[in-house]
């Protein structure tokens, strides 16, 4: 995939997640959060009011620190596609 194709597929995956109305599993949301932040080059600190949630988010970001933005986008796309493919 070209970088432009990755960007388009990433935006489609984001829209798919944002339009979904049922709750997602917490571990899935953390992975989406980390890959989205990395893919969009957003390095703002987690802003939850609950310190433990901020700790989980920070840990998720720390775990993917060695990948590129395009790799993060591709992984985000794969996570979304697999979720909707295998969900009940």
* pLDDT value of position 36: 96
Dihedral, 22, 36, 82, 78 alpha carbons, nearest 10:
160
* pLDDT value of position 62: 93
Element (H, E) at 36: helix 26-39
Best CATH choice for the domain 3-86 from the list 1.20.80.10, 3.90.180.10, 3.40.50.1820, 3.30.450.20:
1.20.80.10
C-alpha 4/C-alpha 61 separation (Å) is 24
Predicted TM-score (pTM) of this structure: 0.90
The tens digit of pLDDT for each residue in 17-54 reads 999 999 999 999 999 999 999 999 987 888 888 889 88
């Amino acid at each position: 995939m070209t970088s432009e194709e990755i960007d388009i597929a990433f935006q489609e995956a984001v829209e798919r997640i944002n339009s979904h109305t049922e709750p997602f599993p917490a571990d899935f949301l953390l992975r989406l959060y980390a890959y989205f932040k990395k893919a969009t080059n957003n390095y703002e600190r987690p802003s939850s009011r609950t310190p433990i949630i901020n700790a989980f988010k920070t840990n998720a970001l720390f775990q993917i620190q060695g990948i590129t933005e395009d790799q993060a986008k591709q992984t985000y796309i794969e996570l979304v596609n697999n979720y909707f493919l295998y969900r009940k």
